[in-house]
Structures are given as C-alpha cells and as structure tokens.
Structure 1
Amino acid sequence: MSGRIGKRLSDGLTEMLRRLRQPEVLFLLPTATLAGFWLGGETGLLLVALGAPLAGFALGALNRPEAAIPPMPDGLQGLALRPQLIGVLETALRDAPVSGLQTGCIVVQFDDAALLLDRHGRAAQTEVLARCAERLCSALRSGDVVARLEGGGFAIALHPQRRLDLESMIQLAARLQAAIAPPISLNAARLYVSCSIGFCLGLAAPSANGRSLLDAAQIAADEALRNGPSAIRAFAPDMARKHSDRDALRGQLETALDQGEIRAHFQPQISTDTGEITGFEALARWQHPARGIVPPAEFLGAIEEAGLAERLGEVMLFQALTALTRWDRAGLKVPRVGVNLSAAELRNPRFVEKLEWEIDRFGLNPDRIGIEILETVVATTENDVIVRNIAALAKLGCGIDLDDFGTGHASITNIRRFAVNRLKIDRSFVTHIDTDPGQQKIVAAILSLAEQLDLDTLAEGVETPGEHAILAQLGCRHVQGFGIARPMPFDQVQDWMARHDSRLAPLPRIGSGATK
C-alpha cells in the first residue's frame, strides 16, 4: 500500500512541476506573488507558493483530455475483450451447480484470412470483420457475449440455459456460418467470406474456469480451420494432446533451425534427351537427434503455422548457394539449383533485395538459382507485393518454375504475367503414365500447351523406367523422382554424379532430340 501511495505522490509532483513550466503559469506567477504579499504579507505569499500549483494541478487532472482513440467500424464497437469474456464464462461456470444452467464457448475463425489481407489490405479486412461481427450478433440471443480475438477471429460466451448439448451447439454453429455466408459489398466488389467454428460445452472443459473453456474452444476452432473451409468441430480431450504436441513441435523446430538440424537434401533433375544432369532441387530434411530423418510432411506444415517459413527459406537459400559454390570449385557441372519459395517470403517487400544481395555475396549469376512457386500461389494471388516480387525475380535473371502444375487452376494469363519459364508437371499425372492412356492424354495436353507458350517442362515423381521412357517419347524435356535418385545430403552428391556419368556414356538417346 505504501509503495502505491509513494508512486502516486511522485507522479503528482512530476505533473505539478510540468504544469508550472507552462508559459501561461510563468506569465501570471509574478502578479500572483505580489498580490499575495500585499494582501497577507508572508502568510499570503506562502499560500500562493503552495496553494496555486496544487489547485492548478487538481484542476488540470480533472480536465485532462483522454487519449484519442481511433474510431472503429460500428460492427466492432462495443464488443467485449478477451478478459471480459473469460470473466463472463467464469461467472456462468461458478453458478452452474446452483442454477442448473449450462454455458458454452464458440470460437469463429475465418478461412483464407491471409488471402483477404493480401488481396484487399488491412482497412478492407477490418471492415469485413465489422460486417461479420454485426451478422454474428444478429444471429445470437441478447444475453450472448461476443469478443474479438487477436488475429481476426471472434469468441462467443453463450448465455446460461437449461438445454445445451452437442446437437444444439452444432445447429448454432451452422446458423452462424449461414449468417456469415452472404456476399459482402466492399469498394464495388462482392466478397465471399467463410468461417470454420470450434466450440466447447462448459461441462466438457478440461477445468471448470473461464480461461480453460475459452482455450478448449480455440483448440477446437484450430482443428476446424485445418479441416476447412466451413468446418465445425467440438472439443475433445485428444485435441488438447495434439495441440500440446504441435506446440512442442514448434519449439523443437525453432531449436532445429538454430542448431542446423534442418538441412538441404538435393534431388537431381536430368534431361530426357541426353541424360545429363540439368540441375538439382533443394529440399528441406530434418535430421532429428533422436528420430533420425523426419519426413517433410511432418514438419513443413508446422513451420508455416509457427511463422518460421521465412527463416527456413533463408536456411535453404544459403545452403543452395553454398553447394553451388563448392561444386564449382570441385569442377562439377551443375547448371542450377531450384529453391522453393513460400507465400510468406513472396509477401516480403524486401525479399528480392535480400536474395540479390546473397547471390552477389557468393559471386554467382542469378540464373544459377531456380525459383519454384506453387501453382496455387500464381492462380489465386492478387497481392501487389507478390506480383512485383515474382516480376523482379524474373527480371533479375532467376528462372521461374511453376511447381505442381495441373493442380492449382493457373490461367494462361497468369503464366504469362508471372514470366514463368518452366512447368513442373505434378506427380499425380505421372504415376502409371506408362500404362494409363488417360494419364498420357493429360500430360500430352500439358506438353502441347507448354510448347505453344515456349515453356520448358519437367515431370516430377518419376519412379520407373517405363514412366521415364514414355515421358521422353511425349516430349517432356526433364524428369525428376525416386526413379532417378532420392534426395541426398550434400556430401553424397559428388559420388552420385560420378556414378551417373559413368553409366551415361553407353546409353542411347531416347528423347525428342535423339539421333536417328
């Protein structure tokens, strides 16, 4: 208590001294001093010296203007904050044994929230959230409490009621999704927004307190978002365990990046015409100290969720450039190495500048680095930063590969707009192509499109000699896959190249440029 009083006195004296230095106070001080001495002598002078500053400070404290708060759209004004929502849930849970009424918590997460931000910007995102908040409130009862969460979602504390079970919660979640679904008119555009919802009944919360109930609903919402769009999930105890495992995995990934456990493995790409090595793709592999090699499917998603994609990209680029430099010094012919870019890297306005600096630092030409971009990014993005970055990469001289082609609905317009150099045919069209006429027709159509657009082609996921042969006959220029070689660490590449070159000499050419 005495500490708080001392702090208040100290703050008060500081404020008083600040106010005494104001010009209007300094101007009036001589007049007030003379008047006090004339009216009351030394006593009056003392009263002026002590009383005037204190009175001024008191009046100033009463009239001190509040800090300006930027206006929020109508739909977001009046919403509860997270601590308030927890308090509401806490009260309902505490009263439940006496009242016999049950509560629950719902968390609403928006599908493709990052895409909305990329396409339309922060102001539009805030306006869309405001409209959605209004729609949610209109679909709820008057006693339900809505709070805005960090990251753009909403949480709802349901007013205690007699009947609240799994079925009624699912019905309510579906009603909220239906309320969100109609298009939103914004800046002469019609935006369609969907949401995934997680919820937890009060009786199902891991602990009988408001924070635990909200956390459980959030875990369920995260699970719904991963299975979305427009998914609904009820909290179950195993979700908490999986959530804890994912949190632990994120911590391990940060450590792995710091300690160099995640390294580039290199998978060769070869010409179907000559069989010569035309490049490598750098692929992330995690050498776990206890588990050994961890498959990328088990950690790449967690890297994205944890916001570590840019750090991983920096690691992979550095190792790719280092490998190229060392191969050059050893006299090995490796035309280029491809690196995969995440959407997070492409959204960074300074990415191309950083990449150019790194390439210059290693003394390499930009065309030695191939940039692999998922077709889904090219097909959906309207983000000006991403568009500018890809254009700048092409202008710099890096080859642009459209990865997993055939799965993301990229238009010809986008292929030209992004200055794509090569189509990488997705492995789903390559599997069993030697025995499936339908697969052959699809790949033949892709190759015909590439030829008309003057684009290079590479088929991924080639696993058998038959697949390799038919792709060569159809005119695909490069192949990559386990049938050629598995991704390998840097220190195994030189030996593999030597073995490959020794087998290459006696082999006849089977591609479109074969000698007749």
Structure 2
Amino acid sequence: MIAFLPAITLSGFWIGGELALVAIALGIPVLYALGSAPGGGLLDLDRPLPDLIDGATAGDLAQKMLENAADAKLATACVMVEAEGLNDLRRRTGDDVIEALRAVMLHRLQGLLRRGDRVARLGDARFMVLLGPSVRLDLEALLTLSDRIQRALEEPVETDAGTQFVSVAIGFCGSNRLRGKASGDALTEAARTALTEALGNGPSSIRAWSDTMQAERNARKSLMSEVERAMAKGQIRPWFQPQLCTSTGAISGVEALARWLHPERGIVPPLEFLTALEDAGQMDRLSEVILEHSLTALREWDRQGLEIPRVSMNLSDVELRSAKLVDRIRWELDRFDMPAERLGVEVLETVIADSPAGRVAQNITALSRLGCQIDLDDFGTGHASITALRRFTVHRLKIDRSFVTRVDRDEEQRRMLAAVLGLADRLGLETVAEGVESVAEHALLAQLGCDHVQGFGIARPMPQEQLVDWAHRHAERIASAQNIGRGAG
C-alpha cells in the first residue's frame, strides 16, 4: 500500500481535484490500519497458512478464530498433536526420514479437516489444529475427532529407510470449556496443558483440558520454581543408607539418596521433587551436588576412622546423556584425592536395556574404565540381556524389592530369587538385595547366597553425622554377637 501511495495520490488529484485528494489522504491510513489489524496478512484465516509457525502466531490465529466463532455465536477448539519418539527415530534413520514423516503427517491432517479448519506445525514434532466455528464441538465430538486424527497419523509410513511407525499423543480444548472471554493464547495454552498431560500418561494418550488439570499444572510450575531455589540454597543434599555384607555383618557401602530439607514442610519425599528438577533441567546440577557431598562425607568418615568402603549414587538417563559427566566425576575424584573404586554408580536396568549404544553407553563404559563400580539398579524389572551385562562391565546387581518382599513366607518367591542369585553367581557378579524389611528376610537372603542387603529393616537413610553414631552402635552389636558366639563355643 505504501509503495503505491504517491501514484494513487497524484491520480486522485488529476481525476477528482482537491476533494478526491483529501478523501485519499484520509482513507489510505484507515485502509492501512485495517490491513495491519489481527486477521490481516499472515493472520488472515481465509488464506493458506505457513507450514511452520511460532507460538505467538499460534495465539494470534486462535484469537482470530475465537472472534469469528463469537460473531457467529458458535464454538471453536484447539487440538495439539505430538509425534512421540521422533528424536530416537532420527538417531536411527537420519533427518531426511524425519522430514518425510512430518510432510506425510501434515498432509494427512490437512486431508482430515473441513474447509474452515486450519493446521500448522509448531515445532519438530508438534502440530496445531484450529477448528472453524461449529455448532457442535462438545467433549464427545472432540474425542471422536481426536481418535480419527490419531488413527490416521499412526498409520505406517513408507520411507527410504523402510516402514516407520509413530505413536501420537493429543491434547485438546474447546472454547466453550474456557471461562469468560478467553484469549487465543489461553486457548492454545489450555490445549498444550492437555497435551503435556497426555504425553505423561504413556504412548498414544488423548486428554481433554479441564480446570483441575490447569490447577495441577500451576502447582507443578510453582514446585519447579521452589525446588530450583532450594537447590541454590543448599536445602537438597544426600542422606545415606547403609548396605551390609551378609557374611560379616560389616558395612560394605552406603547409597546416597537425595533429600529436600524444607524449612516449613520438613523432609519432602523424592518422588515429589525429582520430577520437578527434571522438568526444570536441573538433574545435572543435582548429580553435582550429590557427588560433592558424598565425597565430602567419605573423606570425613575416613578422618574419623570409620570403615565405609564406598558410596554409591544414582544417575538418571538424563544425567548419563551429559557429555561432561565423565570429566566432571574424574575432576571431583582428583580434587578429593579419592580412588575411583570408592565411588559406585547405580544405573537403572531399563536405561541399559534402552541404550545399547550412543552417549549413555559411552559414559557408562568410560566410568567403568575410570575405576568406578557399576551397579545395575532394580534388576529384574527391565529387560537387559546377559550380553548387555558383560558389555557394560556391570559389577553388582541390585535386586529389586519386588523379589525380596515376603521371600521368607512365599515358596514361589524364594525360587525366583534363588534363580536370580544363581544367574549372578555364574556371571561372577555380586548382588545387593533392596527393600529388606525384616530379620527373617535378612537371614534367608544370607542363606541363599546374596552378598549384601539394604533396607528399612537394617537402617533408614540418614544424614552424614547421624550415620557415624549408627555405624559405631552397629560395630558394637557385631562385636557383642561375636563374643557371645565364642562364649557358647
């Protein structure tokens, strides 16, 4: 419009004189303003949309759709769709296959929708669908549509790398579920919240937005902010749970477990804050804190003459993907002048089973070569092969508590546990039984050949200072039992 302004003005003057010139001078700014208003340019819903848009544009498009629906006294809705597992697929097949999948998914979505509906891609694996004004967009109708979208997008796709299968999660919100005069940003955010809920509930989930869901999301955001501050203030640190040798009864190690000492709520359970730390991208920082405090505790126990051979710490899949992990651990061990053999690294069986190659495998192998002891945690709950146990140089199997519970009273449970212990023995691996709750379980595990035990029946996790007192009392109990044994002889 601005580019043609001089020509339009001059023509108006020659054809209509001064009155025409005045009309043009007054009218062109109005036309320009209308062309720049929401709904003009790229935001005109009557024009084709770009394949890829950003969040701000998505909110503006939703705002325009809401206004159109309100003018017609009808409803609209926003549907968020995400293809799950594309990052893993990219590592196996490459970027070209992913681009082909995106194109197919976008084409399929466009083929499902009506003339007044709009669809665009929001990110690497996410698509947004805006439904044109309609009389019937209740929960049942939106669930039916979401199911149709999911079934269409989960149909196999033929690519140069072979047939590809993708699972799809969907979250949606209808405008009639929002209170008051909601904005386009509110509509898209509600659909994102529902999608986040769907992604957290397993593959191929579909979720509708609700007030309760938003309240829970707000609570999670608040917890994320609070847990980040707690990390900065040193409120999150390790407590230590002893592990005992079944042959001697002596302490064979301790496991470092993260605890949040909240100034008002007291001890916050790990399940409440570990997820928040992961969502906040703070898991690497958590491992740094746990490692530093664990090595500090180990050095202090040595100074006090306490015999604790090693401390073990858990590393999640997120932490094991860090390119700096091995160098950071090596540097900390050097700083504390601590042999690597005194640091145990606990890795979930599911992590090893799901990561036969790549950064996770490289880090586990490098830590083993450094001298750290690798413990396979929750053994029996995943599907790691025997080959994987040898490839990753696992030193100990931590037998999941599901194998230990009621082992002294359940014959079938006892046979299953004996089979696991026999396998470990043949592979030359030590074993640690978790979740030991009673003296009877402890005694039977020793009889079956389990090397180490750990659980509330022995001791709960405790602060560094409290462990010193517990260890001294435990040593006295062992000495007393030995004296009694010699006296009886």
TM over 0.5, shorter chain: yes
CA contact (8 A) 2:253 2:308 kept: yes
Q: Which amino acid aligns with 1:200?
A: C
1:215 aligned onto 2:189: yes
Equivalent position of 1:135 in the other structure: 108
- Cα gap change, 1:438 to 1:346, in 2 (>3 Å): same
| TM-score when normalising by structure 1 | 0.80
C-alpha distance in structure 2 between counterparts of 1:457 and 1:126, whole Å: 46
Equivalent position of 1:256 in the other structure: 230
Equivalent position of 2:365 in the other structure: 391
C-alpha distance in structure 2 between counterparts of 1:185 and 1:481, whole Å: 51
Q: Which amino acid aligns with 1:234?
A: A
Equivalent position of 2:17 in the other structure: none
C-alpha distance in structure 2 between counterparts of 1:199 and 1:102, whole Å: 14
CA contact (8 A) 1:118 1:383 kept: no
1:101 aligned onto 2:74: yes
1:148 aligned onto 2:121: yes
C-alpha distance in structure 1 between counterparts of 2:95 and 2:296, whole Å: 38
CA contact (8 A) 1:433 1:440 kept: yes
How far is 1:316 from its partner? 0.6
CA contact (8 A) 2:106 2:120 kept: no
Q: 1:450-489 residue pairs with structure 2 within 5 A? A: 450-489=424-463
Structure 2 gap segments, 5+ residues each? 1-48, 484-488
How far is 1:507 from its partner? 3.5
C-alpha distance in structure 2 between counterparts of 1:175 and 1:219, whole Å: 21
Deviates more, 1:107-116 or 1:171-180: 107-116
C-alpha distance in structure 1 between counterparts of 2:456 and 2:342, whole Å: 23
C-alpha distance in structure 1 between counterparts of 2:94 and 2:472, whole Å: 52
1:268 aligned onto 2:242: yes
CA contact (8 A) 1:81 1:147 kept: no
| Equivalent residue in structure 2 for 1:313, among 274, 287, 291 | 287
CA contact (8 A) 1:119 1:382 kept: no
Q: 1:205-354 residue pairs with structure 2 within 5 A? A: 205-206=178-179, 207-354=181-328
C-alpha distance in structure 1 between counterparts of 2:316 and 2:362, whole Å: 15
1:194 aligned onto 2:170: no
Deviates more, 1:415-424 or 1:187-196: 187-196
Q: Which amino acid aligns with 1:181?
A: E
The SS at the match of 1:106 is strand
Q: Which amino acid aligns with 1:164?
A: L
- Cα gap change, 1:497 to 1:406, in 2 (>3 Å): same
Cα displacement string for residues 344-403 of structure 1 (whole angstroms, at most 9, x for unaligned residues): 221112211111111111100001100100111111114411111111111111111110
The SS at the match of 1:487 is coil
Deviates more, 1:79-88 or 1:183-192: 183-192
CA contact (8 A) 2:345 2:372 kept: yes
| Equivalent residue in structure 2 for 1:437, among 403, 411, 414 | 411
- Cα gap change, 1:275 to 1:148, in 2 (>3 Å): same
| TM-score when normalising by structure 2 | 0.84
CA contact (8 A) 2:251 2:308 kept: yes
Q: Which amino acid aligns with 1:146?
A: V
Equivalent position of 2:342 in the other structure: 368
Q: Which amino acid aligns with 2:61?
A: V
Q: Which amino acid aligns with 1:299?
A: F
- Cα gap change, 1:136 to 1:452, in 2 (>3 Å): farther
- Cα gap change, 1:425 to 1:120, in 2 (>3 Å): farther
How far is 1:96 from its partner? 2.3
C-alpha distance in structure 1 between counterparts of 2:102 and 2:302, whole Å: 53
C-alpha distance in structure 1 between counterparts of 2:342 and 2:77, whole Å: 57
CA contact (8 A) 1:342 1:373 kept: yes
1:87 aligned onto 2:91: no
Q: Which amino acid aligns with 2:112?
A: A
The SS at the match of 2:134 is coil
C-alpha distance in structure 2 between counterparts of 1:354 and 1:121, whole Å: 30
How far is 1:508 from its partner? 6.6
The SS at the match of 1:505 is helix
